[in-house]
Amino acid sequence: MAEEGKSKLYLLKPITDRLPAVSRPDGHVHFRTKMMWLVLILILYFVLTNIMIYGLDQAETIDLFASYRTIMAGAQGSLMHLGIGPIVTGSIIMQLFVGAKIIKLDLTNEEDKAVYQGTQKFLVIIMIVVESVPQVYGYLQPSDIFISNLDGLWSGHGSGLAAFVIVLQLCFGSYLVFLMDEVVSKWGIGSGISLFIAAGVAQQMFTGTLNWLPVDTSAAPSLANPPAGTLPKTIYFLTHIPSSGMVQGRFEQLIISPPNPIIALVGTIVIFMFVAYAESCRIELPLAHESARGARGRYPIKLIYASNIPVILIAAVLANVSMFAMLFWSNDFFSSLPVLGQNPALGYFEPGASAPSGGLAWYVSTVNGLPDWLLPIFDSRYLPFHGTPAAKSLFQVLIHVIVYISVMIFGSILFAKFWIETTNMGAESVAEQIQGSGMQIPGFRRDPRILKKVLERYIPVVTVLSGAIVGALAAFADLLGTVGNSSGTGVLLAVGIMIQTYEAIGREQMMEMHPVLRGFFGSE
């Protein structure tokens, strides 16, 4: 039983302590060892994205996370189908409960922090099942051959067995992702979740820019079927049509029309440069060591203080909104529920489509580049679903854009505040870390309360700015479009992750050369 005054989550401790987990290193892990684990996990991730789920009918599969595939760091139909979705969803739930004081845990206390992490791990397992079962019993169809083979084992139950086997594979792949994230966090550098996102987005950006294969690989390259990559497509157009022909619709096809138009490449480069600049903007508080005279340093408070985590969290929320809206609209069980089932206000879907066609799910869904919003302003022929029962007016398109931008910005601000408090990056926690390292701000009395007041001038404001900036950047990139259909949010995350990983590698090398710095950076 939990002791009096402690959270009731302590009751789960006997269970969470027995869950499969990656043990922490006993002492300092050398830089070479960390890099080795980082590379091995990255290779394993790419291998798993190419191992397809056994028995799945790939042709009949509907991807519920199609619009958020890059952010979920998964691959459709593979063992990585769910990607980091369950991990991020579990993290969101725990952050909201702790931030709202529903769960009373002091994350500065080691025992409470261990309970928090154990409970989060247990919640991740629950979310794996919650996200796996509805997909398999609704949209991941087993192949007829697989069902008939299982019918031979248990006559009349082949379909149920096939679905169960696919659920097991999804659960295995998802928990493997969770363990891989733990390996990177404990034995490598940075975060496994961030690593997987950056790897997937980088792959899509590379192929989206340089893919020389035609859009329809079953047909020969032509002006109607050019190379899929931005640069090969541009070269192909310039070498196969005269300059006068560019005016006859080809200019629009090259600059704006998908896949991978030039404007998407330009947007990707602009986002890359802006994020690199924003990551370098910081306030640096001067520090001096209390006993070692002349030992000085600086504590940086970055403009992107909350990192890119808030965008991952809000994107995961939107992905789950889209998934459950589709379940309530088309799944046999969920669509029969009162109020929620078949409710067009929540979201409705065209037959065979994975993206919503209307309702709340459509208004908060990703805006995919200029063809989704800018072209309809100038020409009504480009209005979404034009000529169908689900046709949209220009007013609805504009509301969609405004709602999406607002959700991204304010959602990122909310999660930035939660993230800072649950990761010990708030003013009080940072003051204690600086105090514990033996450093102080010159000219101020060595007192954590005074240090906290100084930090409170900057950290709360920068936290809000950080969330707003990354949310606005992600939304802007989605409006402009990106190469490889990696989504603006994906590009923003990938660039930020690569910069942060580079800085983390630099810190690791510095700590390797100067072991005294490990205490300041929170290492063993």
Read off the pLDDT of residues 421-478 as tens digits, 9 standing for 90 and up. 777 788 888 888 787 777 777 777 777 788 888 888 889 999 999 999 999 988 988 8
Comparing 96-105, 206-215, 365-374, 395-404, which segment has the lowest mean pLDDT? Answer: 96-105
Last-in-domain residue among 131, 154, 188: 188
Last-in-domain residue among 188, 205, 230: 188
Say whether both 266 and 178 belong to one domain: no
Say whether both 446 and 315 belong to one domain: yes
Question: Within its chain, how far is the Cα of 156 from the centroid?
Answer: 41
Measured CA to CA in angstroms, residue 195 lies from 38, 84, 205, 343, 485 at distances of 9, 11, 15, 38, 19
Do 58 and 77 touch, CB atoms closer than 8 A?
A: yes
CB burial class (10 A; 0-12, 13-18, 19+) of residue 417? buried
- Domains in the chain, number: 2
Q: Is residue 267 part of a domain?
A: yes
Last-in-domain residue among 163, 188, 213: 188
CB burial class (10 A; 0-12, 13-18, 19+) of residue 370? buried
Among 331, 323, 364, 359, CA closest to 65: 323
Res 388: pLDDT: 46
State how far the Cα of 197 lies from the Cα of 30, in Å rounded to an integer: 25
Res 387: pLDDT: 44
Greatest mean pLDDT among 24-28, 144-148, 518-522 lies in: 144-148
Please tell me whether the peptide bond between 259 and the residue prior to it is cis, using omega within 30 degrees of 0. yes
Higher-scoring residue by pLDDT: 379, 328 = 328
* Length of the chain, in residues: 524
Res 272: pLDDT: 84
State how far the Cα of 244 lies from the Cα of 234, in Å rounded to an integer: 16
State how far the Cα of 110 lies from the Cα of 91, in Å rounded to an integer: 18
Q: Is residue 215 part of a domain?
A: no
Helices (H), 17-142: 31-49, 85-99, 110-136
Say whether both 523 and 408 belong to one domain: yes
Element (H, E) at 288: strand 282-289
State both tokens at 267: 């947007």
Q: Is 37 helix (H, G, I), strand (E, B) or coil?
A: helix
pLDDT tens for 288-319 read 776 666 566 778 888 888 888 888 888 888 88
Say whether both 46 and 150 belong to one domain: yes
Q: Is residue 237 part of a domain?
A: no
State how far the Cα of 309 lies from the Cα of 321, in Å rounded to an integer: 19
**Residue 89: CATH number of its domain:** 1.10.3370.10
State both tokens at 490: 């994906």
Do 38 and 184 touch, CB atoms closer than 8 A?
A: yes
Res 167: pLDDT: 92
**Residue 63: pLDDT above 80?**
no
State how far the Cα of 66 lies from the Cα of 319, in Å rounded to an integer: 9
Say whether both 85 and 179 belong to one domain: yes
Say whether both 164 and 267 belong to one domain: no
Say whether both 178 and 281 belong to one domain: no
Say whether both 264 and 173 belong to one domain: no
Q: Is residue 502 part of a domain?
A: no
State both tokens at 51: 């191992």
Q: Is residue 65 part of a domain?
A: yes
Once rounded to an integer, what is the mean pLDDT over residues 211-240? 88
**Residue 236: pLDDT above 50?**
yes
Say whether both 144 and 35 belong to one domain: yes
Higher-scoring residue by pLDDT: 406, 59 = 406
**Residue 384: pLDDT above 80?**
no
State how far the Cα of 259 lies from the Cα of 115, in Å rounded to an integer: 47
pLDDT tens for 324-363 read 888 889 878 888 888 888 898 998 888 777 788 889 999 9
Q: Is residue 333 part of a domain?
A: yes
- CA quadruple 129, 135, 140, 145: dihedral sign: positive
Once rounded to an integer, what is the mean pLDDT over residues 178-191? 90
pLDDT tens for 94-137 read 877 876 677 777 777 778 888 888 888 899 999 999 888 888 87
Say whether both 183 and 316 belong to one domain: no
**Residue 219: pLDDT above 90?**
no
Res 517: pLDDT: 53
DSSP one-letter code for 348:
B
Res 399: pLDDT: 92
Q: Tell me what the pLDDT averaged over the chain comes to.
A: 82
Do 105 and 6 touch, CB atoms closer than 8 A?
A: no
Once rounded to an integer, what is the mean pLDDT over residues 11-30? 85
Residue 383 φ/ψ region, left for φ over 0, alpha for ψ in the -120 to 50 degree band, beta for the rest: beta
Q: 82 Cβ partners below 8 Å, 6+ apart?
A: 72, 74, 128, 131, 132, 170, 173, 174, 177
In order, the DSSP letters of 198-218 are HHHHHHHHHHHHH--SBSSTT
Rg of the chain (C-alpha set): 25
Q: Is residue 227 part of a domain?
A: no
State both tokens at 380: 């009504």
Say whether both 181 and 270 belong to one domain: no
Do 273 and 251 touch, CB atoms closer than 8 A?
A: no
Say whether both 180 and 301 belong to one domain: no
pLDDT tens for 408-424 read 999 999 999 988 877 77
Helices (H), 423-487: 427-436, 448-456, 459-480
Residue 176: pLDDT band (50, 70, 90) is very high
Res 513: pLDDT: 63
Q: 187 Cβ partners below 8 Å, 6+ apart?
A: 22, 25, 29, 33, 34, 37
Residue-range definition of the domain harbouring residue 281: 260-491+514-524
Q: Is residue 84 part of a domain?
A: yes
**Residue 175: pLDDT above 80?**
yes
State how far the Cα of 189 lies from the Cα of 181, in Å rounded to an integer: 11
pTM for this entry: 0.77
